[in-house]
A and B are shown apart, each in its own frame.
Chain A
């Protein structure tokens, strides 16, 4: 686009974040726009709707201060992210500007932030086990490279701590391949930002990370681009530089609120609870950017964090996410109140790709059986808690009493662990075998005899 674009002073209407400009030359859909206010302030925006008569521009920073004398310049290009290897260690704003006082990124490439869908034919099945050092994840909801596994949390729960612990400890064992973290903050508070940044600096994780910060008081429109900038960077690091990238996105709920806010401003027909009807497709555009590609070294693994409004898993945000992601790690307020960290509710958690990344040669031969047994015995024990409240513990059979106790032991030994405790998968499985002693041998009904003989030591 070599032509010098003209400036227009033909703003006819300003409504919410939208500015309507008339009598322009042909303008491309989603083209970037800069607006100069009468006092000289610059704002940026993007074309939402372009026709011969009128062009609708959405302003990233909000329309306050814009009047009909503002001059609008179309930049002739859609939104691109400059990417380069030097981005590692950088802290950028939600629109990709340096926040760390460092120089502008000198780009090796400029990539369209919307990316493109990975051809399903080109995808490779995710099957490399990532050890997070957290028993409830490694043992029972295993994460693999290329997976998207969100944390379903709620306000007041320690999801940030858990995400940081995963970022700190996650590794693929027996490999020293290039590893990077892309951290995407969407609408988090200044205080949360400090927690994250301090932690990144303390552990030295920052040198292998790219951080994008859109804070709670940054414009909502910008929040919609932030994850796209981050994921474009992640894809570049993974598929062009061959790195294994872990993307942490927090908080998807803030992102969806921004989507609703912008949708309402555009006077779109709302879907469920006022969220836009295209929210599923929109979230899919983010989540589906996780994966592996045949013949490429790198991978993109996502851990999005979302807080369930009102602890409600059927709310549209967790609900639509659950339909797209490959499982979920659900946090429990009850466990948290009982002082258990990390408060992972394993019964409603799930990893759909666990089968591909576990077993002999990947983790350990008994992994699947141990996991099934833990699930089954814990579920029975939890059911009995309800019954005990009515009939009392004395009226339980001896076997049921053991299951009841097992549920408590499970929460104490498997679920509970220290915030800096990095358990290997063997340690997790050994703890499991250890607590199986609380049960009778015939209660281990999900495990083959050969594993019991090998691992169940007196």
Chain B
């Protein structure tokens, strides 16, 4: 009686069943077509289910079967390079099984059951292993996939095999229990870690405005809010391409189908700047576009996060992009309103803030059960209605994340890309990361960054004066400040995501560029004191060469040449 019941009521994606006694969040099969659903509310004998597929034509009286298990993802070799929908159905397999459109009632396992993987054990029979410990390795493409003891298991290794296996075949026996390369883990429960650390290492992205000005720490969380057309997706994709994470999980949550196609065609062709391998080899994509079922959209961020945690447990640095968290929040709102729950702000459920913080709190850097250090950095895009971030999703997100990259419509209109506003964005990791930059880039880096930020702030104050009285009214040294900040904005902060040289800028080069701007600033001040006119300073040829250097193949040599020319040409001006 407890596992099989019947449908009592159907209203859109929300179905009520009677005759089953499930636990919250158990997965159930609904109707004759066995549509997949999840228990979201229990009222007496009535079980309320959110169904991941379209329910039209489903009738009261049809059967409901409780699987007794919560929504889980399959974790093991075969994850990388995959493209899944929000509930881990592989889109490529669905395409082969049912054609170009996604119809309901079709399932396919997340991991390929046929594929064989070469398993090499790293423990021996008789060893005692703890939960999460690594017992073997598999080469998955170009990545080393470490096979771990499930977090709920431990004991003596009674048997361990080596050779070629599918994900369902037993590779070890631990304490009488058979272990396969595949684990299942419920998506809504965070995977355990041994210890969480304070984040102190930046996630290096190759984007100057992020790495130098507003860095995100590995294991931290950042939000990118912006109206439509400000470049959220381009920024997210740049991060997915160039950040120095070993694994990237990209969640297209309720976004455009054609945009996912762009990612799908572009990623296999791009190479990872660190390893030279195709980017797709380190990437897991989750694509639940805006017209795919809303309940699966709600689940997609958890599916992605669980996969990210699995790779963190192997000791990898993982970057997770969610584009867009607003669509996830809207999915929650839609389901909540079908449940006739009392709404909070703007119709969003009262638990919106709680869900958002639970999600972002799964970002962390720490020691996994395997004993290795790993991290998950989360970058969430937010799509505020009308570009106005006073709305609930933006506000609740900003209360949790410590990095805010503000995208600006005005900058887009001026064709300044990336459109990250340098005055309103912030990072709270700057103090924690200071030492890393001082040790790994240059001792003077933190001070240089500080100087650049102050110069930009001064510019915004000067601009107010200029708009009132014109630039002629400024003193000569203020004119130099304006020119220096123009260099910071146009040469340093602007970066062309599509230019083969400019799209990725390593940290030492970022430092060099900013040092040169500082040098120009110092020398210009000296030249002024020595009596040079502002027109002469503005006209020095090395400045032009500097502005163009970032697009040259030989950029580093160019920058060195500019360095020399600054010395020579300012000498002529008396500095």
A positions within 8 Å CB-CB of B: 26-31, 48-52, 77-78, 112, 114-126, 146-147, 239, 268-272, 277-278, 280-281, 284-285, 288-289, 291, 293-294, 296, 314-316, 319-320, 322-324, 326-327, 347-348, 350, 353, 372, 375-376, 379
B261, A29: Cβ atoms under 8 Å?
Answer: no
B554, CB-defined interface residue at 8 Å: no
B10, A29: Cβ atoms under 8 Å?
Answer: yes
**Subset of 9 A-B contacts with CB under 8 Å:** A28-B10, A115-B101, A121-B91, A121-B264, A281-B290, A281-B330, A288-B291, A319-B386, A372-B415
Provide the bound-state CA to CA distance between A102 and B229, in Å.
45
Segment among B54-62, B205-213, B365-373, B501-509 that sits at the interface with chain A: B54-62
Provide the bound-state CA to CA distance between A78 and B229, in Å.
38
The residue of chain B having its C-beta at the shortest distance from the C-beta of A121 within the complex is B91
B327, CB-defined interface residue at 8 Å: yes
Q: Which of A116, A277, A379 contacts B333 (CB 8 A)?
A: A277
B442, CB-defined interface residue at 8 Å: no
B9, CB-defined interface residue at 8 Å: yes
Provide the bound-state CA to CA distance between A281 and B294, in Å.
8
Shortest distance between the CB of B108 and any CB in chain A (Å): 12
The residue of chain B having its C-beta at the shortest distance from the C-beta of A146 within the complex is B258
B347, A29: Cβ atoms under 8 Å?
Answer: no
Provide the bound-state CA to CA distance between A23 and B330, in Å.
35
B334, A281: Cβ atoms under 8 Å?
Answer: yes
Main secondary structure of the interface of B (DSSP, over half): mixed
Question: Could you say which residues of chain A place their CB within 8 Å of the CB of B290?
Answer: 280-281, 284, 288, 324
Chain B 43-63, CB within 8 Å of chain A: the 1/0 string? 000000000001111111110
Q: Which of B70-120 contact A (CB under 8 A)?
A: 83, 91-92, 94-95, 99-103
A29, B102: Cβ atoms under 8 Å?
Answer: no
Q: A50-B59, A280-B290 are in contact. Are A119 and B327 (CB under 8 A)?
A: no
Question: Could you say which residues of chain A place their CB within 8 Å of the CB of B83?
Answer: 120-121
B59, A27: Cβ atoms under 8 Å?
Answer: yes
B477, CB-defined interface residue at 8 Å: no
Q: A49-B9, A269-B347 are in contact. Are A379 and B101 (CB under 8 A)?
A: no
Q: A49-B10, A125-B261, A314-B386 are in contact. List 7 more A-B contacts (CB 8 A).
A: A27-B60, A29-B55, A29-B57, A77-B57, A121-B287, A123-B261, A239-B100
Provide the bound-state CA to CA distance between A149 and B384, in Å.
21
Question: Could you say which residues of chain A place their CB within 8 Å of the CB of B334?
Answer: 277-278, 281
B10, A51: Cβ atoms under 8 Å?
Answer: yes
Q: A26-B59, A26-B61, A277-B334 are in contact. Are A323 and B228 (CB under 8 A)?
A: yes
Provide the bound-state CA to CA distance between A281 and B292, in Å.
9
Shortest distance between the CB of B117 and any CB in chain A (Å): 23
Question: Could you say which residues of chain B place their CB within 8 Å of the CB of A118?
Answer: 100-102, 257
B59, A147: Cβ atoms under 8 Å?
Answer: no
Provide the bound-state CA to CA distance between A277 and B287, in Å.
22
Q: A49-B10, A314-B386, A323-B383 are in contact. Are A123 and B95 (CB under 8 A)?
A: no
Provide the bound-state CA to CA distance between A302 and B333, in Å.
28
B258, A291: Cβ atoms under 8 Å?
Answer: yes
Q: Which of B12, B258, B383 contacts A125 (CB 8 A)?
A: B258
A29, B59: Cβ atoms under 8 Å?
Answer: yes
B414, CB-defined interface residue at 8 Å: yes
Shortest distance between the CB of A163 and any CB in chain B (Å): 22
The residue of chain A having its C-beta at the shortest distance from the C-beta of B263 within the complex is A120
A116, B57: Cβ atoms under 8 Å?
Answer: no
Chain B 232-268, CB within 8 Å of chain A: the 1/0 string? 0000000000000000000010101110111011000
Shortest distance between the CB of B51 and any CB in chain A (Å): 10
Q: A296-B100, A323-B383, A347-B413 are in contact. Are A28 and B56 (CB under 8 A)?
A: yes
Question: Could you say which residues of chain B place their CB within 8 Å of the CB of A123?
Answer: 257-258, 260-261
Q: Which of B331-357 contact A (CB under 8 A)?
A: 331, 333-334, 337, 340, 343, 346-347
Question: Could you say which residues of chain A place their CB within 8 Å of the CB of B131?
Answer: none
Shortest distance between the CB of A5 and any CB in chain B (Å): 12
B289, A117: Cβ atoms under 8 Å?
Answer: yes
Provide the bound-state CA to CA distance between A322 and B227, in Å.
9
B95, A50: Cβ atoms under 8 Å?
Answer: no
The residue of chain A having its C-beta at the shortest distance from the C-beta of B332 within the complex is A277
Q: Which of A124, A272, A327 contacts B261 (CB 8 A)?
A: A124
Provide the bound-state CA to CA distance between A353 and B60, in Å.
45
Question: Could you say which residues of chain A place their CB within 8 Å of the CB of B257?
Answer: 117-118, 120, 123, 288, 291
B176, CB-defined interface residue at 8 Å: no
Shortest distance between the CB of B176 and any CB in chain A (Å): 41
B568, CB-defined interface residue at 8 Å: no
A125, B262: Cβ atoms under 8 Å?
Answer: yes
Provide the bound-state CA to CA distance between A51 and B83, in Å.
37
Question: Could you say which residues of chain B place their CB within 8 Å of the CB of A293?
Answer: 100
B8, CB-defined interface residue at 8 Å: yes
B16, A51: Cβ atoms under 8 Å?
Answer: yes
Provide the bound-state CA to CA distance between A68 and B256, in Å.
46
The residue of chain B having its C-beta at the shortest distance from the C-beta of A47 within the complex is B10
Question: Could you say which residues of chain A place their CB within 8 Å of the CB of B291?
Answer: 117, 281, 284-285, 288-289
B11, CB-defined interface residue at 8 Å: yes
Shortest distance between the CB of B345 and any CB in chain A (Å): 11
Question: Could you say which residues of chain B place their CB within 8 Å of the CB of A315?
Answer: 386
Interface centre among A31, A122, A285 (most CB of B within 10 A): A122
The residue of chain A having its C-beta at the shortest distance from the C-beta of B290 within the complex is A284
B11, A29: Cβ atoms under 8 Å?
Answer: yes
Provide the bound-state CA to CA distance between A119 and B252, in Å.
13
Shortest distance between the CB of B185 and any CB in chain A (Å): 25
Provide the bound-state CA to CA distance between A15 and B125, in Å.
72
The residue of chain B having its C-beta at the shortest distance from the C-beta of A29 within the complex is B10
Provide the bound-state CA to CA distance between A122 and B260, in Å.
11
Q: Which of B491-542 contact A (CB under 8 A)?
A: none
Shortest distance between the CB of B27 and any CB in chain A (Å): 20
Q: Which of A77, A277, A316, A353 contacts B258 (CB 8 A)?
A: A353
B337, A268: Cβ atoms under 8 Å?
Answer: yes
Question: Could you say which residues of chain B place their CB within 8 Å of the CB of A50?
Answer: 9-11, 59-60
The residue of chain B having its C-beta at the shortest distance from the C-beta of A56 within the complex is B11
A280, B337: Cβ atoms under 8 Å?
Answer: no
Q: A50-B10, A118-B101, A121-B83 are in contact. Are A78 and B337 (CB under 8 A)?
A: no
Question: Could you say which residues of chain A place their CB within 8 Å of the CB of B254?
Answer: 280-281, 284
Provide the bound-state CA to CA distance between A294 and B291, in Å.
19
The residue of chain B having its C-beta at the shortest distance from the C-beta of A387 within the complex is B467
Provide the bound-state CA to CA distance between A322 and B290, in Å.
13
Question: Could you say which residues of chain A place their CB within 8 Å of the CB of B228?
Answer: 319, 322-323
Question: Could you say which residues of chain A place their CB within 8 Å of the CB of B141?
Answer: none
Q: A29-B11, A119-B101 are in contact. Are A350 and B262 (CB under 8 A)?
A: no
Q: A119-B91, A120-B289 are in contact. Are A326 and B56 (CB under 8 A)?
A: no
Provide the bound-state CA to CA distance between A27 and B9, in Å.
10
B294, A379: Cβ atoms under 8 Å?
Answer: no
Provide the bound-state CA to CA distance between A109 and B61, in Å.
30
B385, CB-defined interface residue at 8 Å: yes
Q: Which of A52, A120, A281, A284 contacts B91 (CB 8 A)?
A: A120
Q: A26-B61, A29-B56 are in contact. Are A272 and B346 (CB under 8 A)?
A: yes
Provide the bound-state CA to CA distance between A270 and B10, in Å.
21
A278, B294: Cβ atoms under 8 Å?
Answer: yes
Shortest distance between the CB of B245 and any CB in chain A (Å): 23
Question: Could you say which residues of chain B place their CB within 8 Å of the CB of A30?
Answer: 55-57
Interface centre among A52, A123, A126, A324 (most CB of B within 10 A): A123
Question: Could you say which residues of chain B place their CB within 8 Å of the CB of A324?
Answer: 256, 290
B388, CB-defined interface residue at 8 Å: yes
The residue of chain A having its C-beta at the shortest distance from the C-beta of B260 within the complex is A120
Question: Could you say which residues of chain A place their CB within 8 Å of the CB of B91?
Answer: 119-121
Question: Could you say which residues of chain A place their CB within 8 Å of the CB of B258?
Answer: 123, 125-126, 146-147, 291, 326, 353
Q: Which of B14-49 contact A (CB under 8 A)?
A: 16
The residue of chain B having its C-beta at the shortest distance from the C-beta of A116 within the complex is B101
Question: Could you say which residues of chain A place their CB within 8 Å of the CB of B95?
Answer: 119, 121-122
Interface centre among B55, B56, B95, B102 (most CB of A within 10 A): B56
Provide the bound-state CA to CA distance between A254 and B95, in Å.
36
B54, A28: Cβ atoms under 8 Å?
Answer: no
